[in-house]
Amino acid sequence: MSTTYSPTRSAQASASTPRVSGAFKSFWDSIQEWRKWERLRADLGSLSDRELMDIGISRGEVDYVASNRDTDPRGIRSAG
């Protein structure tokens, strides 16, 4: 008894694997980015108004700063 394997079937299975892996990686990266944003937002939110003033932002800018980590809220590009 002989078993015949179809080359198109195995090609389809291997072609969908990178798409699934890519979709999962994109999803995972998005979750990690959201966690960083949420952590920074919580850390900044826990500071007093005086501490926020010392680092150059107001309480109303906390969400903006958390969402745009590499942009200075005063319109000046930050160093890092």
pLDDT at 52: 92
Mean pLDDT of 48-64: 91
Token pair for residue 74? Answer: 């005063």
Mean pLDDT of 68-73: 72
Between 64 and 69, the more confident residue is 64
> Residue 45's closest CA among 31, 64, 26, 32?
64
> Residue 53's closest CA among 74, 28, 67?
74
How far is it, in rounded angstroms, from Cα 7 to Cα 27? 31
Question: Exposed, middle or buried: residue 54 (CB in 10 Å: 0-12, 13-18, 19+)?
Answer: exposed
Amino acid at 68: N
Q: What is this structure's pTM? A: 0.59
How far does the chain reach from its first CA to its final CA, in angstroms? 67
